[in-house]
Amino acid sequence: MQRTETISGVLLSSNMDLKSFYGLETSGRDADVRLFEPEEVSDPDAIRFAVCWLPDTDAFAPYPNLQMAMSIGAGVDALLGHPGLDETAMVCRVRDPHQAELMAGYTAHEVLHVLRDFAALKESQDRQDWAPLPMAPPRDTTIAVLGNGTMGKSVTRALAALGFTVRVACRTIPDDPLAGVGYVAGADAVLRAAEGANIVVNVLPLTQATENILNARLFGRLAEGSWLVQIGRGEHLHEMDFMAALDSGRLAGASLDVFRQEPLPADHPFWNDKRLRITPHIASDSTPSIVREQVLTSAKELLGGSVPSLAIDRRRGY
């Protein structure tokens, strides 16, 4: 018997060509799942899902029967906070192990760069100066990892494998804890994990509860001269408290990959602050083949009448 049932979706982004970047075939190439660019949609009523990255404010307006919005990344904050997305619509994310590995690699790089002072070693090289630097066993450095999702787990695994003392702030203590890693859960988990830490890595999802969570209270718990690796979302960082923590010496510096406004505006003071290492939201990216596969799987699950396995919990915000 021939199957005729199909499901239609639309690609919505204000700043990305989702079709070519992720190799998402449009104009109905897949037997079950038909994908369209907005300008190709002839019957907006038939659109049941959207594949999104930072959709425009009015992007969802033409599609009254939208049941699912899928982020092409791990973060769904831009969808949950979107004024045009109906609150009954399911929101999905991509869950990509390779993206998590990239996140771990970025973190390990920043941590080692700072602790071993590779910047000073490069300057020594430039002066042809053979100038070894002192070093300490990794276990003497305590790293607080804020978040234990797909990204947080991967970051923790990498840091623990390098020998650091790792303390993870999580919602609930995991059933499968990593050997040698400390876990703290509960309302003040983030503060307890930060207590006396030399480095804090933020991999939390952005929700109402985590906005501005990198603030004076948290910085006050860290060891003097500590370092922040900020790979969550720009809105996690309370910028005034952050500058105060840098000026007081509580924070020696930070690796910042995400910002409230991206690209970081040309006149933003972060650019020229020698205490900061700035990267343009490149800590990780989702893998095109995995995005493609997970978009199709989620659409087929929706077509089959089930809640997509990548749907997030809207009340929790991730």
Q: Could you give the C-alpha distances from 116 to 53, 137, 277, in angstroms and in order?
A: 37, 11, 15
Q: Give residues 39-68 in contact with ligand GLV (rule: CB under 6 A).
A: none
Binding residues for ligand GLV, rule CB under 6 A, total: 4
Q: Alpha-carbon distance 31 to 278, whole Å?
A: 44
Choose among 54, 49, 75: nearest CA to 285. 75
Cβ-closest position to ligand GLV: 73
Complete DSSP assignment for the chain? ------EEEEEEESS--HHHHHT---SS-SSSEEEE-GGG-S-GGGEEEEEEES--TTTTTT-TT--EEEESSS--HHHHT-TTS-TTSEEE----HHHHHHHHHHHHHHHHHHHTTHHHHHHHHHTT---------GGGSEEEEE--SHHHHHHHHHHHHTT-EEEEEESS--SSPPTT-EEEESTTHHHHHHTT-SEEEE-PPP-TTTTT-BSHHHHHHSPTTEEEEE-S-GGGB-HHHHHHHHHHTSEEEEEE---SSSSPPTT-GGGG-TTEEE--S-S----HHHHHHHHHHHHHHHHTTS--TTB--TTTT-
232 part of the interface to ligand GLV, by CB under 6 A: no
Judged by beta carbon, residue 154 or residue 165, the one nearer ligand GLV is: 154
Stretch that binds ligand GLV, among 71-79, 156-164, 174-182, 190-198 (CB under 6 A): 71-79
Judged by beta carbon, residue 73 or residue 308, the one nearer ligand GLV is: 73
Judged by beta carbon, residue 51 or residue 74, the one nearer ligand GLV is: 74
- Asked whether the beta carbons of 310 and 93 are under 8 A apart, the reply is yes
73 part of the interface to ligand GLV, by CB under 6 A: yes
For residue 232, the minimal CB distance to ligand GLV (Å) is 9
For residue 116, the minimal CB distance to ligand GLV (Å) is 27
For residue 216, the minimal CB distance to ligand GLV (Å) is 26
Judged by beta carbon, residue 9 or residue 73, the one nearer ligand GLV is: 73
Stretch that binds ligand GLV, among 7-15, 70-78, 170-178, 237-245 (CB under 6 A): 70-78
Q: Give residues 258-317 in contact with ligand GLV (rule: CB under 6 A).
A: 286
Q: Alpha-carbon distance 252 to 121, whole Å?
A: 18
Stretch that binds ligand GLV, among 16-24, 69-77, 141-149, 211-219 (CB under 6 A): 69-77
205 part of the interface to ligand GLV, by CB under 6 A: no
For residue 152, the minimal CB distance to ligand GLV (Å) is 13
Judged by beta carbon, residue 74 or residue 181, the one nearer ligand GLV is: 74
210 part of the interface to ligand GLV, by CB under 6 A: no
Residue of 24, 51, 55, 75 that binds ligand GLV (CB under 6 A): 75
Residue positions annotated with a catalytic role: 233, 281
For residue 101, the minimal CB distance to ligand GLV (Å) is 13
Stretch that binds ligand GLV, among 42-50, 73-81, 126-134, 155-163 (CB under 6 A): 73-81
For residue 286, the minimal CB distance to ligand GLV (Å) is 6
Q: Which residues bind ligand GLV (CB under 6 A)?
A: 73-75, 286
